[in-house]
Amino acid sequence: MNETTENIIEVRDLVVRYGNRAVLDGVSFDVRRGEVFVILGGSGCGKSTLLRNLAGLMRPHSGTIRINGEDFTAMSDSRRIEVSKRLGMCFQGSALFNSLSIGDNVALPLREHTRLEESTIEIMTKIKLELVGLGGFQDYLPSALSGGMKKRAGLARAMAMDPEIILYDEPSAGLDPIVAAGLDQLIRKMQSTFNLTSVVVTHEMESVKLIADRVCMLKAGRVVGLGSLDDLHASDHPFVQQFFDRRPDEESGDESAYLKSLTGAP
């Protein structure tokens, strides 16, 4: 575990609304430089919305996100683009362009955002693919890859610009346990090798056990637990206990509570 306490991300009183419903309702936390920080919670709790705000893909209604001390939510569009180049994003479905080879997918950020020579871009692309275990696959189309390989290609693309922070949206979703464990190990490898800061949205408890330095647990858009896994296991918050014990809502065994949270029903 990384021992530094320097904060690279600071989130304060973040509020995001869809219509009249607050999806994020006063969320605050810090992410320390070089750690793997996991955002955990049930369906509809605001995890993915929070990640999109951290990535700059949407703006909150109020509150602040500071990255390296700069207010990411208030800066100009041009400065926001520059800061975004320090962020790598791994999308849940990999978000690869099906018409481009894996190599071209990884090279795309370098071609769009740098003036590097093509020969240099090709070398950097090969290095990134080798880092994620896809050396020699640069000429393959995404359709020729397995789900796990696509996830690794997505990580290679996220690493293309040598970012300080990698944001992961459900990296283990849709993978079998063996492939998911390999991806978890890769996340830790990237973090330890490059001192990357990783923010991971997931609900996969086995992955959390393997990768998390600290965990932020959300329920209905609010933080209900923050700390190490041991801290959360020791929490006396009812939802945290329910989540870790895998207990359904007392009123039913289905997702009625989640559906009510979406509709606002009593």
pLDDT digits (tens, 9 = 90+) for 119-138: 999 999 999 999 999 999 99
Give the domains, in start order, of the chain with CATH numbers: 1-86+202-266 (3.40.50.300)
Q: What is the pLDDT of residues 167-203, one digit of tens each?
A: 999 998 888 889 889 999 999 998 888 889 999 998 8
Is residue 263 over pLDDT 60?
no
Of 233, 164, 170, 231, which is closest to residue 204 (Cα–Cα)? 170
Say which residue the tokens 């890769």 belong to: 186
**pLDDT above 70 as % of the chain:** 92
pLDDT, tens digit, 9 for 90 and up, residues 58-107:
889 999 999 999 999 988 888 988 899 899 999 887 889 999 999 999 99
Q: Is the pLDDT of residue 261 over 70?
A: no
The yes-or-no verdict on residue 254 having pLDDT over 80 is: no
Please tell me the predicted confidence (pLDDT) of residue 203: 82
pLDDT at 175: 85
- Determine the 3-state secondary structure of 84 from DSSP: helix
Q: Which region, left, alpha or beta, applies to residue 251 given φ > 0 means left and ψ of -120 to 50 means alpha?
A: alpha
> For 218-234, how does the pLDDT look when each residue is reduced to its tens digit (9 = 90+)?
999 999 999 999 999 99
Judge whether 88 and 52 are in contact, CB under 8 Å. Answer: no
Higher pLDDT, 173 or 10: 10
Q: Distances in Å between the alpha carbon of 67 and those of 31, 73, 123, 161, 242?
A: 10, 10, 30, 17, 33
Q: Give the confidence band of 3 by pLDDT, cuts at 50, 70, 90.
A: very low
What's this model's pTM, rounded to 2 decimal places? Answer: 0.87
Confidence of residue 253 (pLDDT cuts 50, 70, 90): very low
Q: What pLDDT, in 10s, does the model give residues 14-56? A: 999 988 889 999 999 999 999 999 999 888 889 999 999 999 8
